[in-house]
Amino acid sequence: MNREEFLKGLGASLNGAVPPSVIQENLRYYDEYIRNEAAKGRTEEEIIDEIGGYRLIAKTIIEANGGDSEESGYGSADGESYYGSYGNEYGSSGSGPYSGYEEDERRSGFHMYDLSRGWRRFIIPVILIVFLILVFTILGGLFAFLSPLIGPLLVIWFLVVLFRNRR
């Protein structure tokens, strides 16, 4: 993958998920970074392999900005992208910010679980509630089992203490 393909994919993945200014800022950053590293004698492919997949980078940028393409609503009404100076050169290919993300995850060996959005944010509280219910059920069962024995055991203990003191 060369610089243009990388920037086009990154721009398309960010389109509609974050504000246009964030898209432009990140496209400029990665464009400049790749150009500077290439000026040092490295190939664009080498540099892009080191950076990682554009979909994974886009997902990270989207999460850092608290956006989600379904929630943010960035983009124009006619579906055109807001890329400013990157306009049509790195415009949207019609793919969403998460399309093909799984492929990049498999290649990189990195997987991120985001518990801040959607149904996932309810997993931890549900697990905690189920755990507490289980603990209280067990304690209640033990109390129910031992409660008929507590009265006679207290009477026996009281008698033992009473007779020990008489001797």
Cα–Cα distance measured from residue 92 to residue 126, given in angstroms and rounded to the nearest whole number: 39
What would the two tokens of residue 123 be?
Answer: 């997993």
Assign 167 a pLDDT band (cuts: 50, 70, 90): low
Q: How far apart are the first and last CA of the chain?
A: 95
pLDDT of residue 84: 41
More reliable by pLDDT, 136 or 105:
136
Cα–Cα distance measured from residue 128 to residue 104, given in angstroms and rounded to the nearest whole number: 33
pLDDT digits (tens, 9 = 90+) for 72-126: 445 443 444 444 444 444 444 444 444 444 444 445 555 555 555 566 667 878 8
Cα–Cα distance measured from residue 10 to residue 89, given in angstroms and rounded to the nearest whole number: 12
pLDDT of residue 95: 41
pLDDT of residue 82: 41
Are 107 and 24 within 8 A, CB to CB?
no
User: Considering only CA atoms, which of 53, 66, 51 is closest in space to residue 19?
Assistant: 66
More reliable by pLDDT, 114 or 43:
43
For the chain, the three-class secondary structure string (H helix, E strand, C coil) is: CCHHHHHHHHHHHHCCCCCHHHHHHHHHHHHHHHHHHHHCCCCHHHHHHHHCCHHHHHHHHHHHCCCCHHHHCCCCCCCCCCCHHHCCCCCCCCCCCCCCHHHHHHHHCCCCCCCCCHHHHHHHHHHHHHHHHHHHHHHHHHHHHHHHHHHHHHHHHHHHHHHHHHC
Q: What is the mean pLDDT of residues 127-140?
A: 94
What would the two tokens of residue 136 be?
Answer: 């209280």
